[in-house]
Amino acid sequence: MPEMSPPWSKQGPSSYFPSIEKKYGKSIAEWQSIIATVGDLKHMQIVAFLKAEHAMGHGHANALVGWTLAGNVAKP
C-alpha cells in the first residue's frame, strides 16, 4: 500500500483531505484507524457509519472511504 502524506493531491478523493482534517479535527491516519474498527463492511456501509457516528458529511466520508479501500495509507 502506498503511504501518502500532506500535502495531499489536488485531484481525486484526497483533494478533500485538508478540509476533512480542519473540519473534524482528526488526521487522515486517525480516520483510517476508525475505519479499520468497522470490520468487513461495504463502502456505503462505512460511509453511513461515519455520517451517523461522527457527523461527517457524505462527500467527505465517501472520499475518505474510497481512498482507504483503494489501499492507500496515510502517515500518522
- How do residues 50-71 score in pLDDT, each as one tens digit? 999 999 999 999 999 999 999 9
Helix %, strand %, coil % for the chain, to 5? 60, 5, 35
**What is the residue extent of each domain of the chain?**
14-74
Other C-beta atoms within 10 Å of 68: how many?
Answer: 21
* pLDDT for position 37: 96
pTM: predicted TM-score of the whole model, two decimal places: 0.84
pLDDT of residue 60: 95
pLDDT at 75: 83
pLDDT at 14: 75
Confidence (pLDDT) at 8: 61
Alpha carbon distance 52, 13 (integer Å): 20
Supply the pLDDT for residue 6: 59
Left (φ > 0), alpha (ψ -120 to 50) or beta: where does 32 sit?
Answer: alpha
| Residues with pLDDT less than 50, the chain | 1
